[in-house]
Structure 1
Amino acid sequence: MRSYTRAVRRFLETTTLHGFKYLFAKYYCDRIGWLICCCASAGCAAVLCTVVWARFLQVPALLTLKEVASDLDELEMPMVAVCPPPITVAAMFTNHFNVNETIAERFPNIFEKILRRKNVPEHQLALVDQVLEPHALTFTEALFEIMPPCKDIVTKCQWQRRSIPCNRLFEEDLTQWGVCCVASRARFKSTPTSELDITRRLTLAVQCYNKPMLINCHFFTKYDVEEWFEPSLLYSGHLYRAQLAFASVVDEDPHKLLDGTCAARQFYSRSRCLLKCMESRCGCLDVIRLSDDPDEPTKRLQTCPLHKLNCLRTDKREKTTCDCLPTCKKVSTRMIIETSRMNAFNNAVDNIYSGLNVSKGSVLTISLGMTGTVVSMVSPTETWITLLSSLGGVFNMFLGVGFFSLLELLFFILIRLPIAFQRSTEINRYN
């Protein structure tokens, strides 16, 4: 026991820790004074460590604006889709499948609910099923079958003020608003663009149907990680100029990827993750959904029959246990649309108007420029390295604890104490 006491006393007398060696001073008053100083230093260190730890838990970050003009690759067009509205889809459906007029009158309301992801009564879904059953088609397959070719909907296209065939940009695809003519971001990237152009411009002549009262179109734009979006209505005989700007915020904190507090996978968004989770719970795919990565697990599921559609439409988010993280990259868009009637389009020089039936068609120009476009990088100011640096400074200032103090303590515990224990055992054996 004496060997232990002697070893501890010698360690405290020779240690590099501030003030501890003075605890064995010659005079009692000196010991009390140094004990008070050591306790005060330890208290100050505890307070400052608490402040440093609380600041670290707040995850402070620095928002840095990125110069878009220096990197025009950031100026990417979103996905652009032109869709027939639900009332037009219902009319095409009833005409294609020769639905009884009495029943056909109810279909616009039914299709409005289905294509807008609303809960549909079972008896209304049964009416649509009765039409599809003799043809052995799913609702999604029927949407593709009744959809006119995209060349009849998007009749003319201009990219960067140059005319191009529309089939280079648009193709039929399934979206969250039904089957649409979609120009994906990959197709925009593969289309030649001058490096001197600081604005991305797409001009379309569209015509969604050739029947009276069914001649309007919907269009929407969407970036991959964008969460929620709404289609805009295009009325026939009007010219639309849409000025698009987006704000992109990229979280560059690598610890969030490792900790699993945000997701950075391609095609990932939280809304899409929630949909996939509900599809897994219900055991089938939604009849309207964006085309995703072909390797995703839900691709092995079949499309939901209509009688199971309400399983996906019912709001069960309070009961669900879906582990859907927010995205590390957040994109929000702002679109300003100007509209005017095409009164004198016959005198226009631009060939986008040639052959246009103004009573059934409309012209849409989407422009994406540097004005209003913001790309920001979120860089964390507090990491584990800065935390260790701050804590090390606090301990070194008030307690004199540093790296060598740690080595000294380890040397004392791993070497000095075992030697003292061995000597104590030998002394007891001889006695």
Structure 2
Amino acid sequence: MITKWHWDQGRLNYFQFENLKAIAHCLKDLEGIVINQKGVDPLRAELERYTGLPFAPNTYRVWRNYKRVFECSFLATTINDRLYITDFCKRVTENETKKIDVDEFLSLFIPRFRFPFVAFTDYHKSTNLVYPFCAVLKYLISNFQLGKQLSISLEEVFVFIIGNNCTGLEPLEHYTTLKKTNYEPEGDEKRQVREMLIFISQLSILKWYHGSLFLDISAKDFEDYNGFQHLINPIFKEPKEIREEEYLSMTSLSKEIVYPFKLQSREIPTDDIFVEGKRTRVTHIKIERSPLLRKLFFKEYPETICDMCVCDTKKRYPWTDNLLEVHHVLPLSSTLLITGSGTSLSDVVGLCPNCHKSVHTYYKNWLNKYKVDDFKNRTEAKEIYQLAKGSIIL
């Protein structure tokens, strides 16, 4: 029997890692409260204050409508009607030296998430376990090893992975022999699986673009990370009969060591001046140095004019193709924005190498001056970028 894949559809904005962090901070501060207390909803006002997001409609309690967001993201559940936060929630809200970034979060999340999953009404203890994200990544990694196209479309997920009832537990070689099936998604299954894939596309080695999930790695990355075994191999824990026990087992990180997710292929020695060992700045560089991001951005925006100094690099250096680099203008620890269409390029600009280096220096000076590790939100990040841009002497 084929296992159906489920997710909480229509809530992609809430699954944006930047927003999940804000939700996590709120839930951590509210841990232990009674969810269904009489009178005012104990979650709505605080969640909206922490995140700036609406938790509508007001006619229903937040936990009733957003339970799957909190549970699917491994942040929180309820036990005896009281809010209980997970180890994932605690790791996300740690101080600068201990908290995890999106790559580390998803590296812990992907090999643990499995079906049957407790957030859905069809949960039952089963020995037929499916690790959907591991299955998708194994398919992509197997294509990488075979030199095939490094992407999988939504249709291919259904006809190759779900249709063949892949569990993610099979050896990598299994995914090189998959035959196309005639599996057709039913009801909201297509939308739910699409949003699952867009969610994990926040991992720096993945991008969702035009209906397909792309693997964004080099041969050096593959070698350095031992074939990304830590991502593609499920972490098995004995299934539990009781929902709460199953959830706590899946989300437990008590003995887990989190190793920094670094991609040496995206590191440039001169970045050390900007990075200064700061984790948030490492995340920023890792996003910007993505070869696939550069390819997708300049496919959409082929102009060769620097967004800061307005130099047309193609005209100035006619023997070159495109000297511009991509710059991410959101807070340093933020991932690329995800939307219903996938990875968004709306917060990326093209800069000449000099301007790109100079804006990083401007950021470093500003952050050090105010003794903060990152910009507090998107608005501030964009304001500081505009300040840097406006300070150029042309």
What is the TM-score when the length of structure 2 is the normalising length? Answer: 0.26
More RCO (CA 8 Å, sep 6+): 1
